[in-house]
Amino acid sequence: MVETLLDTERIGRLERLAAWLGLASLDGVGVSTLWQIAEGGDVEAEWRLRSNSAMRTAAHAAAQVHLDAGIVFTEHGDEAHPSLSYGDPHVPAVLLWRSGAPLPPRASLPTVGIVGTRRASRLGTEVARELGAACASAGIRVVSGLANGIDAAAHRGALSADGAPPIGVVGTGLDVVYPPRNAELWNEVAHRGALCSEYPLGTEPAPWRFPARNRILVAQSDVVVVVESSDRGGSLITAGLAGERGVPVLAVPGSVRSQTAVGTNRLLADGCQPCLGPEDIFMALGFERRPDPGNAGGPGEQIELFDASLSDADTAVLDALGWEPMSSEALANACPQLSLGTLLVAVQGLVRRGVLADRDGWLERIR
């Protein structure tokens, strides 16, 4: 009897997924039309009206492929679906998920979206990783887009804390890893948390899909933090969508000379709250729990950067470098008062102490 009920449920889910996949594949059927169909209630009947036998057979086969791959789907009314109402402008009528565990209700844990530029600085990636670790350690799910730079760093931090499971919102099919270099991270987020997409399996990346997925990221978030951003790009789109939805936006301040801080500093000038550390995220979420710095991987540690051991040459190097990456040649030109030998000793010492990073001849201050 139990097996019969389970079989009936599986068949029902298969038919409903086939209807959704079939409808979404039709010309002229977009997000708003799918919402209208969802609100009408009888998705399968609508699909039968709009399809022929061959189309239904193809949609059924596609749905079977999804279920065989372990893909589950949610729609409005399901606890894991983040829509607030029918026609929610920030959430599709149907979402596809890949997860190593049953999907928890959307409201079961607080969530923070951590986003930023793909061309992140070393300092920016460290901040994103630390924020991700601190939040996951404190029981906050980290949501991001699995892009290079800030997104990937935030997810790596969340995974390192072994705390609240992360969520990755992607702009491709759940079997199309993009960017390919993040394949290991992608699979780890899927295994220990969840991946989410509005696109069927096999959907390849396209430039317009990534700004579109940002609305889903916002809908999954109780707070959005922009770590680094240029003066235009996806992170600012995400911040704008969050403002539309009433989701608080925090921004990490940066140097006025840094191109990766132009967007975040502009957000601050426009009235966003600053994020100076994980405590600001906790406050925005309305709770007071503080992570143990040792457990969270260091976000709460206060590192004394300037002490009596800094030499005059060290200070000259840091003053000349500022917070922008600089080639070794440019730094030498900016420090004419130092001999080449003195400059080299100062730089090597600052790198050893973790104040500078040397990346293929480009020096960047990270503390």
For 312-365, CATH number out of 1.10.10, 1.20.58, 3.30.450, 3.30.2010 equals 1.10.10
The continuous run of DSSP H or E covering 285 comes out as helix 278-285
pLDDT at 8: 60
Please count the CA atoms within 13 angstroms of the CA of 120 that sit on its side-chain side.
Answer: 26
Please count the CA atoms within 13 angstroms of the CA of 312 that sit on its side-chain side.
Answer: 4
Fold of 106-285: Rossmann fold (3.40.50)
pLDDT at 156: 97
Contact 171, 210 (CB under 8 A): yes
Structural Rg of the chain based on CA atoms: 24
What residue ranges of the chain are covered by domains with CATH 3.40.50.450?
106-285
How distant, in Å, are the alpha carbons of 158, 161, 310, 314, 342 from that of 138?
10, 9, 36, 37, 45
DSSP secondary structure string, 248-282?
-EEE----TT-GGGHHHHHHHHTTPEE--SHHHHH
3-class DSSP assignment, residue 88: coil
The continuous run of DSSP H or E covering 223 comes out as strand 223-226
pLDDT at 365: 81
Give burial (CB, 10 Å; 0-12/13-18/19+) of 204. exposed
pLDDT at 290: 54
Distance CA 165, CA 306 (A): 37
CB within 8 Å of 326: residues ≥ 6 apart: 320, 334, 362, 363, 364
Q: How many CB atoms lie within 10 A of CB 276?
A: 10
Nearest CA to 280 among 118, 112, 123, 107?
112
Q: What is the pLDDT along the chain (367 residues), one digit of tens a residue?
A: 434 434 567 778 899 999 999 999 999 999 999 999 999 889 999 999 999 999 999 999 999 999 999 999 999 999 999 999 999 999 999 999 999 988 989 888 999 999 999 999 989 999 999 999 999 999 999 999 999 999 999 999 999 998 999 999 999 999 999 999 999 999 999 999 999 999 999 999 998 898 899 999 999 999 999 999 998 878 999 999 999 999 999 999 998 888 999 999 999 999 999 999 999 999 999 875 454 444 433 333 333 334 446 788 888 898 888 877 888 888 989 999 998 888 888 888 888 777 888 877 788 887 6
What global pTM score does this model have?
Answer: 0.79
What residue ranges of the chain are covered by domains with CATH 1.10.10?
312-365
Distance CA 50, CA 262 (A): 49
